């Protein structure tokens, strides 16, 4: 027979745990809104003093190489390269890394850009990568900024490392070949490096936007639309919260632990110093940022990881539940691998704020949240079966949490619209808000399932790589 007194004690303790955990999480969210608002305001003030024209006309600005890995992207590879070559920046190079594609990507590039091969074996490559077969340069002078590296397949991180090896510039901007990058993106990303004089900037991230169903012409975003389907639609709101609110807030207290792999700018010497991207994890962007921070902590040098709030890079979000689950599965595995690799940071005063606050936050809330949600669901059914749950109070509590989530999403959307004027029509705003209000019921459970699936694979040692992320492709227009 079940001891109901014991069960009630367990129920009371568990209830307090979930209550405190939820209160802490909500507190962090709203602190993020306050800090993000302050950061965006300061960013706008700084932008008035250092204008785009000042950067373009300067002669002492850092040189930048954009590194873009590509694998089996023959359908769009030529258009993507043309788009990346058109980015505005005085000292700019583009390195496209063909990571062992099995389609006709290389043949198309050779024809379109009149490429000729050169032996790469004699060039010093400080980061070990899969074998580089040839480097290609164009015979046409208008493509003199383009370098194509043809290498054996080694994965995305390995391809980025190969590009960093051959970059030779002060800064490297890592992205994906299928991303749509704003023409003045590098100018805005470089600005923090020019403004900061007291601390070394070891990483700079830019805003990532969702461009599903938007109009793309010649590799340039011409008309931004709210995605037609629910899954990418709700991800617009999710990205606004994560990038504008979350990362701007953490950046305000120099607690940013992640620069998105889709669009991150780094000092090349520091990246080489830590050995480049980790090829043994699918969370290479998070892992590199933590390793760079650890390096600076050991050197006892003042540093910053910064975030530029403007949306500078547009990507295609997973269009359906199947692809979404694969993505969140991979993200969860990458998070598991990175936190395990750097577990020595957990409440380690040697690493100051990173060890005592920032890393524990990632462990408790970024990693722990889906586990706590799943356990909470189990507890509801278990203690509900034994009659311990007062359902009227439980429904009231759930309603309050849901309303707080709706308020947070609403504030995030209007904050974004006010700051950057995207999605400014009444219909677009209504569509985003409706998606955010439906998110807890139709999107969030699937996202948690994907995360738990990733944890399950790591827990039981199930091998799983990057995964195939099937895309529908952007809507293009020749008109």
Q: Is the pTM above the cut of 0.75?
A: yes
Q: Is 450 exposed, middle or buried (0-12, 13-18, 19+ CB in 10 A)?
A: buried
C-alpha span between 24 and 364 (Å, rounded) = 10
Beta strand 200-210 with 263-267 is: antiparallel
Asked if pLDDT for residue 418 goes beyond 90, the answer is: no
Report residue 4's pLDDT band, with 50, 70 and 90 as the boundaries: confident
Q: What is the pLDDT of residues 228-245, one digit of tens each?
A: 999 999 999 999 999 888
pLDDT of residue 60: 78
Helix 426-442 × helix 444-459 angle, to 10°:
50
pLDDT of residue 479: 45
- Residue 388 CB coordination number (10 Å): 17
Domains in the chain (CATH in brackets) are 4-26+374-461 (no CATH), 33-328 (3.90.550.10)
Mean of the per-residue pLDDT values for the chain? 91
* Residue 201 phi, psi dihedral angles, 5° rounding: -85, 115
pLDDT of residue 466: 66
pLDDT of residue 59: 67
Q: What is the pLDDT of residues 256-277, one digit of tens each?
A: 999 998 899 999 999 999 999 9
Report residue 56's pLDDT band, with 50, 70 and 90 as the boundaries: low
Which of 209, 303, 317 lies closest to 251 in space, CA to CA? 303
Report the pLDDT averaged over residues 47-67: 75
Q: What single DSSP character describes residue 188?
A: H
Asked if pLDDT for residue 33 goes beyond 70, the answer is: yes
Q: What is the pLDDT of residues 134-151, one digit of tens each?
A: 999 999 999 999 999 999
pLDDT of residue 100: 95
């Amino acid at each position: 027979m079940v001891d109901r007194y014991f069960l009630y004690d367990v129920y009371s303790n568990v209830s307090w745990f979930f209550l405190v955990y939820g209160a802490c999480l909500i507190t962090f969210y709203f602190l993020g809104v306050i800090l993000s608002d302050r950061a965006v305001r300061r960013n706008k003030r700084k932008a008035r003093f250092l204008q785009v024209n000042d950067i373009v006309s300067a002669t002492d600005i850092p040189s930048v190489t954009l590194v873009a890995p590509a694998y089996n992207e023959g359908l769009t590879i030529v258009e993507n390269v043309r788009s990346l070559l058109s980015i505005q920046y005085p000292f700019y190079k583009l390195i496209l890394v063909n990571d062992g594609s099995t389609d006709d990507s290389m043949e198309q590039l050779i024809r379109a850009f009149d490429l000729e091969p050169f032996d790469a074996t004699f060039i010093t490559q400080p980061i070990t990568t899969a074998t580089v077969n040839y480097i290609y340069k164009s015979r046409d002078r208008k493509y003199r900024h383009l370098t194509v590296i043809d290498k054996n397949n080694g994965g995305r991180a390995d391809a980025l490392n190969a590009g960093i090896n051959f970059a030779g510039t002060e800064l490297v901007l890592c992205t994906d070949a299928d991303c749509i990058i704003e023409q003045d993106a590098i100018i805005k990303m470089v600005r923090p490096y020019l403004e900061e004089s007291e601390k070394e900037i070891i990483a700079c991230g830019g805003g990532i936007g969702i461009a599903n169903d938007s109009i793309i012409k010649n590799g340039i975003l011409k008309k931004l639309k709210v995605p037609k389907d629910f899954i990418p639609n709700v991800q617009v709101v999710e990205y606004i919260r994560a990038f504008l609110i979350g990362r701007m807030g953490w950046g305000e207290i120099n607690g940013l632990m992640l620069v998105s792999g889709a669009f991150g700018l780094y000092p090349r010497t520091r990246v080489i110093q830590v050995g480049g991207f980790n090829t043994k994890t699918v969370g290479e962007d998070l892992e590199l940022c933590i390793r760079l921070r650890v390096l600076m902590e050991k050197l006892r040098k003042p540093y910053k990881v910064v975030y530029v709030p403007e949306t500078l890079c547009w990507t295609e979000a997973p269009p359906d539940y199947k692809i979404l689950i694969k993505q969140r599965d991979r993200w969860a595995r990458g998070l598991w691998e990175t936190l395990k690799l750097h577990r020595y940071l957990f409440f380690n005063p040697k690493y100051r704020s990173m060890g005592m606050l920032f890393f524990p936050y990632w462990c408790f809330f970024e990693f722990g949240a889906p586990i706590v949600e799943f356990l909470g669901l189990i507890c509801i059914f278990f203690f509900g079966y034994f009659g311990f749950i007062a359902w009227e109070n439980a429904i009231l509590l759930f309603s309050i949490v849901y309303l707080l989530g709706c308020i947070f999403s609403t504030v995030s959307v209007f904050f974004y619209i006010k700051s950057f004027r995207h999605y400014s029509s009444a219909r677009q705003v209504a569509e985003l808000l409706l998606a955010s209000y439906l998110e807890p019921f139709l999107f969030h459970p699937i996202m948690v399932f994907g995360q738990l699936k990733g944890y399950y694979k790591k827990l039981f040692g199930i091998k799983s790589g990057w995964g195939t992320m099937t895309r529908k492709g952007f809507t293009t227009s020749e008109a």
